[in-house]
Structure 1
Amino acid sequence: MPLLHLIAPSGDPQDQDAVARAVDYFQEKGWQVKGQSSALRHFQRFAGTDDERAAELNALTKYAQPEFKDSKPDLVMALRGGYGLSRILDRIDFDGLAAADLVFIGHSDFTAFTLAYYALTGKASYSGPMTCFDFGADSPSSFTQHHFWELLGAGIDAIKVRVAQPYQFKTEGMLWGGNLTMVSQLVGSRYLPEVKDGILFLEDINEHPYRIERAIYQLREAGILTQQRAMILGQFNGYKLYENDAGYDFDEMVKHLRSRIDIPLLTDLPFGHVRDKLTLPVGRVAQLDVRQDDGYVLSYGRI
């Protein structure tokens, strides 16, 4: 019986019913679930104190020991994002987690973990659905479920985005990225991986287009974009435009960036803070086939 281990390294789970629904969901799929008690921790806006959240992650290093290997979880999933990993990155035993050979999944604030895990150990993980919002929903997205189980089961997955793009090319490269705020926060630190010839995917929520543009300029000025084969944007929803924007919106921002950066900038990849999301490997080579008016296809395999 496969084992799912739940962790809460960031924000307060808030909705205990959603956690219970997610546990039921996986148990009905034939999985054993551990770690539900992490949903009971509360400290200010966090799922426990910094000490508690760091200790929860570091306790997983025990699976590197021979006596625990038979009970090692098949997947470790974050309950939710929010904020909190930035406070404990320097307290996480990444080498110990890598020795345990664990597979992690999450998005939003969990981007900080997946990028640091890859940067410090070379270990891949997943940017994908989480416990509360996704599998704990009253009616989980069929799209999210399909791509999650397809990748974990068949071992390969692909998405065809039927939105026209002003490019035509084929390439492959290391797939990496996640939440834009967390990626830009890690610039200049040891927690951001140095990826060359990569395919960088980015998304965010509640960020005005000018903030998105500013963060992407930071990546350009840091020399990160020039090392990538392509950058793919997801959805950037939840923001509010103002009267003084005077026509400056997300589409205008994309148009401007395409005139100022030297790599292809694609749009509309479904992942992150949306109901219908992909499960994307962070730290695995992917194939990208861009077909202009016919959109593009992104193909990749499991960890």
Structure 2
Amino acid sequence: MSTSLILYTPAGVLPQAQPLRRAARRLSALGFEVSIDEAALAKHQRFAGDDATRLAALHRVAAAAPSVAMATRGGYGMTRLLDQIDWPLLARSVEQGTRWVGLSDLTSLHLGLLKHAKAVTWAGPMACEDFGRTDEDGGVDDVTQDCFLEAMHGELEAIGFRTEAGFDGLEARGTLWGGNLSIVNSLLGTPHFPRVKGGILFLEDVNEHPYRVERSLLQLQQAGLLDEQKAVILGDFSAWKKSPLDRGYTLKSAVEAVRSRTKTPILTGLPFGHVPTKVCLPVGHRVDLVVQGRDVIAAWGH
């Protein structure tokens, strides 16, 4: 049985068509029945078409209710659409079996659907960055591809990773939620923010210096959010540049500063973010988190 997959661009512009075509070919070779939304290559300033064009694309995908709705890329643009999105339409697509997958700017879509519909979506790869990369640049990451295939076929029931020492014996159960740290923070205080209590919050970011990461985490802590969680899991914080002002201050320093201000355990090492190797995570699903030694398992299977 073929699995329908629609590629659409809800946020930043796609500067070139080649990565999209390459991703479509590779996803077809993996057994998906791939179609590309008519506005996927639209251009308006830094966006994939003006707001009305991107909103129409999002609603078109939801109405079609494919097995998989995969964003071509993130960037910026979803925030502009949040107040206009037909959330019940998107929720119906999830009820019909659509798996919405993406990361970064798509965090606001995932969290909006969790808030407005208690729907489960997938934090995972993007078409162009993960499936459209040239072979010279490393091609498709095996772990990313395998994890994605299992998740989209309903077979993925857990992910595992290694964290730093100090959390042996930790067990927690709660709703898995989160995504890109900057986007999570941008939703605070809006009608699209799901205030999850007793959850397991995962976070990642890109191009953000550790002091900015620390500031964002402290904003969540000062808003009372970190103390409300059973655990926080940090993914990758990539592509930032050191400053001569750092003087030994690192991402580790930032995390330690936040840990000292909350009772909630903050784990690191989640293979997720703006990096080639990434797992898929069911946003809005209840998960069991277990740490043995330095090995972490997050499971949501039966």
TM-score between the two structures when normalised by the length of structure 1: 0.92
Whichever residue aligns with residue 32 of structure 1, its letter is E
Residues 212-231 of structure 1, C-alpha deviation per residue, up to 9 Å, x if partnerless?
A: 11111111111111211000
Q: Does 1:86 align with 2:79?
A: yes
Aligned partners of 1:19 and 1:36 also within 8 Å: no
Q: What is aligned with 1:122?
A: 118
Structure 2 matches for 1:110-149, cutoff 5 A? 110-138=106-134, 139-149=139-149
Secondary structure of 1:204's match? Answer: strand
Displacement of 1:281 in angstroms is 0.6
Structure 1 counterpart of 2:273, which letter? G
Cα distance, 1:17 vs structure 2: 1.0
**Number of the residue aligned with 2:163:** 163
- For residues 301 and 54 of structure 2, the distance between their equivalents in structure 1, rounded to whole angstroms, comes to 30
What one-letter code is carried by the residue in structure 1 that aligns with 2:91?
A
More helix by share: 1
Alpha-carbon displacement from aligned partner over 1:235-266 (angstroms, at most 9, x marks no partner)? 11111121211111101111222111110000
1:143 match: secondary structure: helix
Q: 1:297 to 1:81 in 2, by over 3 A?
A: same
Tell me the SS of whatever aligns to 1:262. coil
Aligned residues: 293
Q: Does 1:247 align with 2:248?
A: yes
Deviation string for 1:69-99 (max 9, x for gaps)? Answer: xxx4101010100000111111110112112
Are 2:103 and 2:125, in contact at CA under 8 Å, matched by a contact in 1? Answer: yes
The CA distance in 1 between the partners of 2:68 and 2:244, in whole Å, is 46
Which structure 2 segments of 5+ residues have no match?
none
User: Residue 206 of structure 2 corresponds to which residue in structure 1?
Assistant: 205
The offset of 1:196, in angstroms, is 1.5
Residue 92 of structure 2 is matched in structure 1 by: 99
Report the residue type matching 2:84 in the other structure: R
Structural RMSD (CA) = 1.6
Q: Distance in 2 between matches of 1:187 and 1:25?
A: 37
Measured after TM superposition, the shift of residue 114 of structure 1 is: 0.8
* Pairing 1:75–2:76 present: no
User: Is 1:16 aligned with 2:17?
Assistant: yes
Structure 1 residues 135 and 204: alpha-carbon distance in aligned structure 2, compared to 1, 3 A threshold: same
Structure 2 residue matching 1:114: 3-state secondary structure:
helix
Tell me the CA shift for residue 288 of structure 1: 0.9
Identify the residue that residue 181 of structure 1 maps to in structure 2: 182
- Does 209-218 or 151-160 show the bigger shift? 151-160
Using a 3 Å threshold, how does the CA distance of structure 1 residues 301 and 76 change in structure 2: closer, same or farther?
A: farther
> What amino acid is aligned across from residue 250 of structure 1 in structure 2?
L
Following TM superposition, by how much is the alpha carbon of 1:176 offset from its aligned partner in structure 2, in angstroms?
A: 0.6
SS at match of 1:255: helix
| TM-score normalized by the length of structure 2 | 0.92
Which secondary structure does the structure 2 equivalent of 1:181 belong to? helix
Partner of 1:68: none
Give 3-state SS (helix, strand or coil) of 2:227's partner: helix
User: CA offset at residue 100 of structure 1?
Assistant: 3.0
The 8 Å contact of residues 201 and 234 in structure 1, kept in 2 or not, is answered as yes
Look up the match of 2:229.
Answer: 228
